[in-house]
Structure 1
Amino acid sequence: MTENFNVFFNENKVIRDELKEDAIYLKKYTEQLNVDKEKNIHIAVLTERNRIAREIHDSIGHSISSSILQVEALKISTSNHTSLQGLDTLQNTLSSGMSDIRDSIHNLYNESLDLKRRIKDICDEVNSLDIDLIYKLEGPLTYDFKFDILSIIRESITNCLKHSNATKLHISLLTQAKFYTIIIKDNGSKFSQLESISNKGIGLLSMDEIARKYDGFLNYGFDKGFKIYITLMKG
């Protein structure tokens, strides 16, 4: 009976471990689906904005440009002072409207993801943490890169709220000659090496995948608070 029990116990342990592993991968898969869904929605919004921008440029923009040229021609052909003043006013109004349209088109064609503002918005939503943000990312950043940075920031804040007794969180986004650096550190004092790393496992795994995606690396550890150091190579 003892032997049978031991066999039964070991078999159950194996099954339990397999179920636990499946649950971890399922959670990670679900999180990735949510990330992909959010990204696809944003891409759809960008596509629609670009379509609207093209229509504005092709129709309204060309019409106003043509009107400005016609007003200029009328100014040349008339000598009446009152008429010239009216035409000047009309031309200035049209030119101002054209400038507004150009600004709108520029904003619509923009990648529509203000990374610094989005990070600040995320930080402002957290009332239980005093978040200190240093943002020094420079150069053209692709939409995918910005989205991945946001994913790292969100995951870091979530981990801090769930698994730490920290009251402060420092986030530094820095630009180096050939790479970008992300440093995230809290002031938490409650830390169990095994438990903390286990709890943070899914988030750290996702961050590590992002780092590898850009030929970078991820380091983390505890030194008067939990610290994450990520390097992302420039393309």
Structure 2
Amino acid sequence: MRDALIQRTIDQLSSINILKNDLIKEHFRRSHNDLQALELEHKFLGIYQSIAQDAQNKSKSTNTEFGEISELLKVYEFKNLYLLDTNFQSLFSTKEKNLYPLSKESLESLLGTKGNLFQIIDASAYSESKETLLYYYIPIVDENQVVGSILVEEDFQKIQDILLENTGMGNTGESYFVAGDYRLRSTSRFFPDVPPLTISVDTESIRNAFQGLSKDHIIADYRGKKVLSVQRQIENTTLDWMLISEMDFDEAMAPIIELRNYLIGITLIILLLIVLITYFLSNAIARPILELKNIVFTLSKGIIPNQTPLTSSTDEIIQITKAINELTDGLKRTTDFAQEIGSGNFKTSFKTLSDFDMLGQALLHMRDELLILREKETKLEREKAIALLQGQEKERRRIIQELHDGVGQMLTVIRMQVDSLEADNESKAEIKNQINNTVNEVKRISYNVMPHALIDYGLEAALRGLCDHVKKYSSITVDFQYVKDIDRSLTFEMSIALFRIVQEALTNIVKHAHATKVSLHVLDKEDEVYVVVEDNGRGFVESEVLKKDGLGLRNIRERANLLDGYTEIHSSSKGTSIEVHIPIPTT
């Protein structure tokens, strides 16, 4: 068990080590891509040329140049930036007083023979504060010639935050970096105030790990503590760093000690219970058995039992087992039935335990009453919704009549009175044009509120007029087809509902879809009216639209539901399809 626990802990540490290793590699990769993108955009070359020109003219860099560099550091979350010439002398720095920490010799030593390539360099050995210094070196190339270089200082706290995440590592778990000089590069969890480079990790196991030899998992760490350890080098970078994840050995073994104490306690409790149970059973095992049998059989039929006298029997244990099984089964079915009723599933079936099952009969009666109540409530809600919609449509008809008889006639009179004014023809024509625009706007509003074509000529004419309005007031092409399989007239309630559904769908397309083509097809069949509205717009995710508002989609579905119909909405980046099925009521 000890070896299994050790292996499980090592596997867990290895998983954490791999995860953090991947997160840090991904951080370096993202930073590399960001800097490479800036290099490809010639950002660094532009900054270098601007600052080099200022240096040649012996003028200071402008606030604009400094602001641009500071903005780059802020956007890409870097700490500092140094601009160097070909002799690695600092031309510019975002650090106060242009404090450049590296000499030409030290930088050349760090770069080696790859001075003309992008690389990550560890300059921690030259840090006066013994803190970790990590730079991205980017050569500045102009016409295939290196004219300077950029050193971008990494904000190492972001990497430190990844290492300090101790989920799954217990109270003593720690992940940290060790470099090839066998010194820490990340802050110790146990010595947070000590600079990392002052802590040596020069142990045999770490040396073996750097040399690629067998890696021991039970070692003494830099504190001298016995720990379980996993080591893995950072790959795909120029850093000679080892990521180490460890946990104190005593904490890893704590579950075994706890289990041992737990088993001892359980064993003592079981022994005590055996003694007590044996004592009581030996004195009173026979007398209550028959009484329990009768009570349990009575309960299995759903009847509340009375006190029964004791009787003798030779198979009491078998009868009690049978009675308990029947009782368990009966109570389970009754409980399941009650839960189904509670969740609103009133169509579930249930058989009473017996003709005298008072609980089962009460549940059946309650189910029937709740079902009747739900049907009444659904009917009442539907009637209220239909009445509300009918009231709205009636009010809309009254409004457009008022617009036609009132505002429309008044505008006509005004237009006639303009002819009698003593003014030049150009002014009259301008006023008439404004009046005509107002008349057209009133007509458009009237059509949206309640089209006369729907009242006078039916659904097909109203939808055709609606499509004409869409084509007139937008750049969308509308393909409208209305096919009738049977010669009949739809009721006004069904016609106005279908008109509103299509109107809502077209309004959403005009406002949000960015579509250029729309097809509206209506099929009037014997048993239903089928409507499909399709567009080639950008589509949407229905759940996200409903979270924001989605009133239009809700109105479409609710109007279809009120007529016992249903709606299917399919949307993708290539367009949207809304299908509506409205059944024809049987007479």
Task: Supply the distance in 2 between the matched residues of 1:45 and 1:130 (Cα, whole angstroms).
Answer: 28
Counterpart for residue 483 of structure 2: 136
- The answer as to whether partners of 2:570 and 2:578 remain within 8 angstroms in 1 is yes
Counterpart for residue 501 of structure 2: 152
Counterpart for residue 397 of structure 2: 42
Q: Per-residue CA shift, 1:25-84, capped at 9, x if unaligned?
A: xxxxxxx979844434538999xxxxxxxxxxxxxxxxxxxxxxxxxxxxxxxxxxxxxx
Counterpart for residue 171 of structure 1: 520
Q: How many residues are paired up?
A: 141
C-alpha change, 1:144 and 1:45, in structure 2 (3 Å) is farther
Q: CA deviation at 1:190?
A: 5.0
- The answer as to whether partners of 2:518 and 2:536 remain within 8 angstroms in 1 is yes
SS at match of 1:189: coil
Q: CA deviation at 1:157?
A: 0.8
- The answer as to whether partners of 2:539 and 2:571 remain within 8 angstroms in 1 is no
C-alpha change, 1:184 and 1:197, in structure 2 (3 Å) is farther
Counterpart for residue 583 of structure 2: 233
Task: Supply the distance in 2 between the matched residues of 1:227 and 1:45 (Cα, whole angstroms).
Answer: 32
Q: Which sections of structure 2, spanning at least 5 residues, go unmatched?
A: 1-386, 402-453
Task: Supply the distance in 1 between the matched residues of 2:564 and 2:394 (Cα, whole angstroms).
Answer: 22
C-alpha change, 1:200 and 1:157, in structure 2 (3 Å) is farther
Task: Supply the distance in 2 between the matched residues of 1:220 and 1:41 (Cα, whole angstroms).
Answer: 28
Is 1:119 aligned with 2:463?
A: yes
C-alpha change, 1:132 and 1:145, in structure 2 (3 Å) is same
SS at match of 2:456: coil
Task: Supply the distance in 1 between the matched residues of 2:516 and 2:398 (Cα, whole angstroms).
Answer: 36
Task: Supply the distance in 2 between the matched residues of 1:199 and 1:181 (Cα, whole angstroms).
Answer: 29
C-alpha change, 1:207 and 1:194, in structure 2 (3 Å) is closer
Counterpart for residue 277 of structure 2: none
Task: Supply the distance in 1 between the matched residues of 2:534 and 2:550 (Cα, whole angstroms).
Answer: 17
Is 1:218 aligned with 2:555?
A: no
Counterpart for residue 533 of structure 2: 184
C-alpha change, 1:233 and 1:157, in structure 2 (3 Å) is same
Q: Which sections of structure 1, spanning at least 5 residues, go unmatched?
A: 1-31, 47-109
Task: Supply the distance in 2 between the matched residues of 1:124 and 1:211 (Cα, whole angstroms).
Answer: 24
After the TM superposition, which residues 101-116 of structure 1 pair with which residues of structure 2 at under 5 Å, given as runs?
Answer: 112-116=456-460
SS at match of 1:125: helix
- The answer as to whether partners of 2:534 and 2:576 remain within 8 angstroms in 1 is yes
C-alpha change, 1:192 and 1:215, in structure 2 (3 Å) is closer
Task: Supply the distance in 1 between the matched residues of 2:512 and 2:493 (Cα, whole angstroms).
Answer: 28
After the TM superposition, which residues 74-93 of structure 1 pair with which residues of structure 2 at under 5 Å, given as runs?
Answer: none
Q: CA deviation at 1:114?
A: 2.5
Which amino acid in the other structure matches residue 120 of structure 1? R
Which amino acid in the other structure matches residue 213 of structure 1? L
Task: Supply the distance in 2 between the matched residues of 1:190 and 1:218 (Cα, whole angstroms).
Answer: 17
Which amino acid in the other structure matches residue 42 of structure 1? R
- The answer as to whether partners of 1:163 and 1:196 remain within 8 angstroms in 2 is no
Task: Supply the distance in 1 between the matched residues of 2:546 and 2:505 (Cα, whole angstroms).
Answer: 13
Q: Per-residue CA shift, 1:199-218, capped at 9, x if unaligned?
A: 67211211112211221111
- TM-score, normalised on structure 2? 0.22
After the TM superposition, which residues 20-39 of structure 1 pair with which residues of structure 2 at under 5 Å, given as runs?
Answer: 36-39=391-394
What's the Cα RMSD here?
A: 3.1
Task: Supply the distance in 1 between the matched residues of 2:479 and 2:544 (Cα, whole angstroms).
Answer: 26
Which amino acid in the other structure matches residue 497 of structure 2? D
Which amino acid in the other structure matches residue 114 of structure 1? G
Counterpart for residue 554 of structure 2: 205
Task: Supply the distance in 1 between the matched residues of 2:479 and 2:491 (Cα, whole angstroms).
Answer: 25
Which of the two has greater helix per residue? 1
Task: Supply the distance in 1 between the matched residues of 2:569 and 2:469 (Cα, whole angstroms).
Answer: 25
- TM-score, normalised on structure 1? 0.51
Task: Supply the distance in 1 between the matched residues of 2:455 and 2:389 (Cα, whole angstroms).
Answer: 21
Q: Per-residue CA shift, 1:120-172, capped at 9, x if unaligned?
A: 11111123211111112442211111111110111011111111111111111
Task: Supply the distance in 2 between the matched residues of 1:163 and 1:189 (Cα, whole angstroms).
Answer: 9
Identify the match of residue 510 of structure 2 among 161, 164, 178: 161
- The answer as to whether partners of 1:166 and 1:188 remain within 8 angstroms in 2 is yes
Q: CA deviation at 1:112?
A: 2.2
Task: Supply the distance in 1 between the matched residues of 2:513 and 2:459 (Cα, whole angstroms).
Answer: 26
- The answer as to whether partners of 1:173 and 1:181 remain within 8 angstroms in 2 is yes
Task: Supply the distance in 2 between the matched residues of 1:140 and 1:192 (Cα, whole angstroms).
Answer: 36
C-alpha change, 1:35 and 1:205, in structure 2 (3 Å) is farther
Which amino acid in the other structure matches residue 39 of structure 1? K
- The answer as to whether partners of 1:179 and 1:231 remain within 8 angstroms in 2 is yes
SS at match of 1:232: strand
Which amino acid in the other structure matches residue 584 of structure 2? K
- Greater C-alpha Rg: 2
- The answer as to whether partners of 2:521 and 2:533 remain within 8 angstroms in 1 is yes
- The answer as to whether partners of 2:522 and 2:530 remain within 8 angstroms in 1 is yes
SS at match of 2:501: helix
Q: CA deviation at 1:175?
A: 2.2
